[in-house]
Structure 1
Amino acid sequence: MGSFRFLLSRRWILFGIAVVLLTYLAWVLGQWQFHRLDDRRDRNSIVERNEGRDPVEVTDVLGVGEPVDASEEWTSVTATGTYAVEDSVVVRYRTRDSAPGVDVVVPLVLADGTSVLVDRGWMATENSGGLRGTDTDALPAPPSGEVTVTGWVRRDATDGGSTEVTQQSTRSISSDRIGEALDREVLTGFVDLAEESPEAAEPLDPPPLPELDEGPHFFYGLQWWFFGLLAVFGFCYLAYDEWRGGPARRDRLRAERRARAEEEERKQAEVQARIRAERERSRT
């Protein structure tokens, strides 16, 4: 067996640095997954708390130019007004159970003249990206006249590219961008519809409530940490193998096995030769 001075060679130093970096990366990614788990638990607790409250007036939670606080999302609210059907906005690329479709967002004009955006739900389409809000004839009509809606407060999307509004259609809901495109004063944030009174003749599929499970983050975090430990174990095993002799030792063992096999073959050949010689003498 040799010494551990081989660890000071250039090859092993670079190998060690690579293992350290890989282990650090696995640690960071594991920590990231556990942070996401904490965020998921915080969000679930907010949803559970807010869903259990009685509905409040929408203006008690939403206001013009007042971003929705994370602690207020999924608060149950109620609002009364009239739908501005001509300003309906289609949210494209919303699939359900692999079926293409869109969400339909309609401003509800309140008594003070401001509007709250109401995501009335999902409808199936032949192409989730082809329908436009200006195709109002293709959209199921909301109730006419004064309507009272109950729903859940939602925060605006923050991806600037996806919130762009073109021909009254968008990919993500931003009250600021939609209000600007429609030239309307709208409350910041929007409402996922739960109920309408009176009910629509052709209701849409309601927006889904959030899932309250913890997701796969815990197991993903353990998985990343396992990869880090595996890298350290692999390095230690290879270093131990090298210390015991490494490739040279394995070559020596293979040579010894080959020599033993050749010796065994030689002995078997001698035995066969003696047997043949005995047979020849017995014939004579």
Structure 2
Amino acid sequence: MHKLGFLVSRRWIGFALVVVLLAWVAWRLGEWQFHRLEDRQERNAIIERNEKAGADPITEVMAPGQDVTGSTEWRIVEATGTYAVEDTVIVRYRTREGSAGVDVVVPLELADGSSVLVDRGWYATDNRGATTADVPAPPPGEVTVTGWVRADAEGDSTEVTDQSTRAVNSEEIGDALGREVVGGWIDLRSESPEPETPLLPVEMPELNNGPHFFYGLQWWFFGALAIFGFFYLMYDEWRGGRGPWGKTRDGAPADSGTA
């Protein structure tokens, strides 16, 4: 029999298929990480570019019934209006460094009668959570705010109950409050005049590449390791070694080394 005839055995064919599958999965996971890296770099560039450009009037970027797109998210807008404190919405389960807390979202009534949802920041709570009566009030009267445009969240977490939710969706909150709101919402950057008791600022994403590059390399390394391992075991079998199942090349159990 040819020295490589063992490769057509059922066990070796199955072994080869497993290795091919593992290598393909590792390759795709590596590609996924590199795609995430590209998305993160693109988002970072948008944020940095918008920081340099400054704020645009909110009417140029956001409007009722208009979704926030990739080209408008993270733009900085400026709006002037009056906070509707009675319609404050609590965003639950917003922990920071292991501490329980909530984000506080308040509609800002604009001159045209519509409102924009403003995430004013984070407020620490005890284990029972918080209600709209617990959080510090925003500045009274006319207020000018600037903030980053954000896209609506999706899914069951956006459901609004008793003026609280787990994720911000302008349509869901607008319906719950009976308000006409612009599509999307804004993360507060500044407000004038300043409140008597400020909230902790919204956490902005870190403008770095994150771990995606090294995670991608790791997945590709695992795939290459699987292929290398297959050829090493094939070589070991070819020269009469144990092979991947502890048997010699002719299929007999390998010598255990005992008499």
Range of TM-score over shorter length: over 0.9
Q: In the alignment, which residue of structure 1 is the partner of 2:218?
A: 223
1:235 maps to what in 2? 230
Which amino acid counterpart does residue 19 of structure 2 have in structure 1?
V
- Using the aligned pairs only, state the percent identity: 63
Partner of 1:137: 133
Q: 2:205 maps to which residue?
A: 210
Amino acid at match of 1:244: R
* Cα pair 1:174 1:189 within 8 Å, conserved: yes
Partner of 1:94: 94
Match of 2:135, as an amino acid? L
> Are positions 1:41 and 2:57 aligned together?
no
Equivalent in the alignment of 1:163? 158
- In structure 2, the residue matched to 1:152 is 148
CA drift at 1:156: 1.0
> What letter corresponds to residue 239 of structure 2 in structure 1?
R
Contact 1:50-1:72 at 8 Å conserved across structures: no
Displacement of 1:254 in angstroms is 3.4
In the other structure, the counterpart of 2:245 is none
User: 1:150: Cα distance to partner?
Assistant: 1.4
Which whole-Å deviations, capped at 9, do the CAs of 1:163-183 have from their partners, x for residues lacking one?
010100000100011001000
Alpha carbons 1:57, 1:78 under 8 Å: kept: yes
* TM-aligned CA distance change 1:186 to 1:251, over 3 Å: closer
How far, CA to CA, are the matches of 2:8 and 2:108 in structure 1? 73
CA spacing shift, 1:242–1:110, aligned 2, 3 Å:
same
| Distance in 1 separating the partners of 2:153 and 2:255 | 66
CA distance in 2, matches of 1:40, 1:112: 36
Q: Offset of 1:251 from its aligned partner?
A: 4.6
Matches within 5 A, 1:1-284: 3-127=3-127, 130-131=129-130, 135-158=131-154, 160-247=155-242, 248=248, 251=254, 254=257
Offset, 1:234: 0.7
Tell me the TM-score normalized by structure 2: 0.92
Pair 149,12 (structure 1): closer, same or farther in 2 beyond 3 Å: same
| Distance across 1 between alignment mates of 2:96 and 2:136 | 18
1:239-263 deviation per Cα after TM superposition (whole angstroms, max 9, x unaligned): 11111112348955936xx7xxxxx
Residues in 1 aligned to 2:44 and 2:254: alpha-carbon distance in whole angstroms: 60
For residue 70 of structure 1, give the secondary structure of its aligned residue in structure 2: coil
Secondary structure of 2:140 counterpart: coil
8 Å CA contact 2:101, 2:129 repeated in 1: no
Unaligned residue ranges in structure 1 (runs of 5+):
259-284
Contact 2:90/2:132 (CA < 8 Å) preserved in 1? no
The amino acid of 1:75's aligned partner reads R
Helix, strand or coil: the match of 2:162? coil
Q: What SS class does the counterpart of residue 191 from structure 1 fall into?
A: strand
Mapped contact 1:85–1:141 kept (Cα < 8 A):
yes
Write the letter of the residue equivalent to 1:144.
Answer: P
Q: Following the alignment from structure 2 to structure 1, what is the Cα–Cα distance between the partners of residues 54 and 213?
A: 33
The secondary structure found in structure 2 opposite 1:246 is coil
Whether the 8 Å CA contact 1:101–1:124 is kept in 2: the answer is yes
Structure 2: which 5+ runs fail to align? 243-247
Could you tell me the TM-score, scaled by structure 1's length? Answer: 0.84
Residue identity opposite 2:117 in structure 1? L
Q: Give, in angstroms, the shift of residue 54 of structure 1.
A: 2.1
Cα offsets for 1:70-120 (capped at 9, x unmatched): 122221211111111000000001011111100000000011110010101
Moved more, 111-120 or 69-78: 69-78
> What amino acid is the match of 1:83?
Y
Letter in 2 for 1:10: R
- Of Structure 1 and Structure 2, the greater helix share is in 1
Compute the displacement of 1:157 (Å).
Answer: 0.9
